[in-house]
Amino acid sequence: MKWNQNPNGADPNTTNPNLILSTVLTEAGRAYTDLGFQDIAGVMQHTQKDGWTPSHNEYDWGGSNTWTPYYDILRNNQLVYNRAVAGNMELQQGVCLVMKSMVFGLITDLWGDAPYTNALKGDLADVVYTLPAYDAQEVIYKGILADLEKANTLLSKAKAAYLNPIDGVDVYFQGDPIRWRKMANSLALRYYMRLSEKLPQIAREGIEKIAADPVNYPVISKTDASEDATMDFAGNSGTDSWPSNTVYDKDGSNYRRLKMCNTLVRILQSRQDPRLGVWAKKVDCFLLVDDNLPSGTGNVFATRDTVVAGESRKVRYVSPDVLAAKKLTLNDINQDVNFVGLPVALNGPAVYNLSPDAAQGSTNPHVSWLSDIYKQPKGTLLKSRFISAAEVHFILAEAAAVKGWAAGVAADHYKAGIQASLAAWGVASSYATYITQPQVAFNNTQQQIIEQKWIASWTAATEAWFDYKRTGLPALSAGPAAKAPVMPVRLYYMLDERNLNQANVNAANEKLETTIYSAYGANDVKNSPWSKPWIIQGTGKPW
C-alpha cells in the first residue's frame, strides 16, 4: 500500500465519475441555498431575524467567513472532470465545466481575488499548489467564460450520442445535455453582465453573440419556468432538507427566528404582488388604537382583543398613550393589516411592533412569519435556484434598455422575466393584472429592471447582492444596529487562510480598494467587507 492512501477510500484513478458527480451537485445545491436564504437574504433585505441577529441583520461576520465548502465541491468536481477526460466522457466534462464555473464565480463574487489557476492541485505537493497565489478577479471571470464556451460545445450533441449517461445521478436535469447547455450559456450571460462596467467591450460582444444565435447558444428562456436550473430537496434527513424545516429541526429555531423584512414587504404591497402571499403569512394579530383604553407602560399595556370575522386572526387594540411613550405612530405599528415586515437591523427586533415576547421575539404575533411551506423538508416550491428564465430575461432587458446593446426588445424581456418569476412561484395567472399596474408597467429604466430582478431572487439573494454591488440598486439603507452605515460589498478572507497562506492573502488584500467605511470591519482595513474588489473599483458603485 502507498503511504498517505486511505485503504477505505475510493481510488481516484479508478473511481466511476458518476458516483462522485451526485455529491458535487447536491452539495452545491445545499451551499447555494444556505447562502441565499440565510445571511445574504438579510443583506438584501428579503428577511430579517428577531433572534441571533448579528450575522443576518447587522453584517457582523467577525472575519471568519470560509470558502472551504466551495473548494471541497470544486475538488470533487475536478476529480469527476479528470476521470471524464480519461474516459472520453464528454457529457460529464461539460457538466463539470458548468459546475466549476458557477462555484468559482460564486467565490470571486463573494471574496474578490482567490486561488484559481493553482487551486485544486494540492496533491502535487509543491508549495505553489499547497499555498496557492490568488488570481485577479479579471483572470477568474475570463477563465469562467472560457470554460462555459467549452461546455457549450461539449454539450451540443443529442442525448443519445453520449455513451455514458448520467440520468440516475443528475439531480438537476436527469442527464439532459440541452438543459445543461442552456445553463452554461445563461451563466455566461450572468458573467458578461458582471463585467459590463469594467470590460464593457468584452461584455457587449459576449451578450450580443449569445442573444443573436439561439441555435448555437441556447439559453434558459421559457416563461413557464420549466427550464430553470434548480434542485429539489430530497427531504429524507436534516442534511438533504430545506434549511428552515421544522421536521428535523425539532425546536423550529431556524424557522421561528426568520421574519419578512419590511423593505421587501412594502414594495410587494405597493404593487399588490401575488408572490407576497406565497412567501409570507399574514400577521396573527394586527394592532389598532383605541382611545378609550387606559394607558400602559413598557411592554405592559391594556388591550382589547377581538377575532377577525371569518379568520383565526385577532385585532389587538392599544391605548394611544402606549404609542406616545414608545415614540411610535400609527403607521409604525400598522404597515398593513395583513403583512408587516421587520425593519432592517433594528435595535431590539424581539419587541418590534409591541411584541409581548421580549426574550427572543420568535413568538411575535405582530410581524409576518415566513409561509408554512418553509417549515417543510421538501416541496414543489422548495428548490435551490441557480439561474432562471427570469434572471436571463432581466439580463437581456438591461443589456438592451440600459446599455443599448443588441439583445432583443427590452420591454419584451422585462415582461418575460416577470412572467417567468410569477410562474416559478405558482401565481402565473396573476400576470395580466400585475403587469398593468403603473409601478410595474415597463418604463425603460435600470432601477425598475433590477428591482424586479431583486424580487425574483427570493431564496437566492446572492445574485441580487452581486447586482447591488454593480448597480447600487435597489437603493438599500443599513439599519441602526448595522456594523457600518452602508451595505457591505464582500466577505472577509477567513482566519484559517490568513494564518496558513498569509503572504498570498496579504498580496490580495493590497489589491482591495479601501473606502471611508473600511474601518468598520473586524480586521485590517484592507480585508474589510467595505473594501472594494476589482470588479467595482472605479465604478462609484454601490456607494
The residue type of 332 is D
Question: What's the whole-number mean pLDDT along residues 334-356?
Answer: 85
pLDDT at site 298: 46
What is the percent of the chain with per-residue pLDDT over 70, rounded to a whole number?
94
Q: What is the DSSP string of 289-349?
A: E-TTSPP-BTTB--EEEEEPTTSS-EEEEE-HHHHHHTT--HHHH-S-SS--PBPTT-SSG
The residue type of 136 is A
The residue type of 424 is A
The residue type of 10 is A
Whether the full predicted model's pTM is greater than 0.85, yes or no, is yes
Q: For helices 177-194 and 389-398, give the axis angle rounded to 10 degrees.
A: 40
Contact 116, 143 (CB under 8 A): yes
pLDDT at site 1: 39
- Between residues 524 and 55, the one the model is more confident about: 55
Query: How does residue 361 score in pLDDT terms, banded at 50, 70 and 90?
Result: low
Q: Which domains does the chain have, with CATH numbers?
A: 17-52+66-219 (1.25.40.390), 260-368 (no CATH), 483-543 (no CATH)
- How far apart CA 106 and CA 104 sit, in angstroms, is 5
- Measure Cα distances from 473 to 322, 449, 462 in Å: 37, 10, 14
| pLDDT mean across residues, the chain | 92
Q: Whats the size of the chain, residue-wise?
A: 543
DSSP-derived 3-state class of residue 217: coil
- How far apart CA 243 and CA 246 sit, in angstroms, is 9
pLDDT at site 316: 76
- Between residues 294 and 271, the one the model is more confident about: 271
Q: Are strands 314-318 and 47-49 parallel, antiparallel or unpaired?
A: unpaired
* pLDDT reading at 511 higher than 50: yes
* pLDDT reading at 473 higher than 60: yes
- How far apart CA 525 and CA 487 sit, in angstroms, is 16
* pLDDT reading at 321 higher than 60: yes
Give pLDDT tens digits for 418-434: 999 999 999 999 999 99
Least confident of 135-139, 145-149, 282-286, 294-298: 294-298
CB atoms under 10 Å from CB of 93, counted, come to 22
Least confident of 56-60, 92-96, 224-228, 251-255: 251-255
- Between residues 353 and 508, the one the model is more confident about: 508
Contact 540, 469 (CB under 8 A): no
> C-alpha cell of 415?
415582461
Q: For helices 446-456 and 389-398, give the axis angle rounded to 10 degrees.
A: 170
Least confident of 62-66, 423-427, 529-533: 62-66
Contact 273, 434 (CB under 8 A): yes
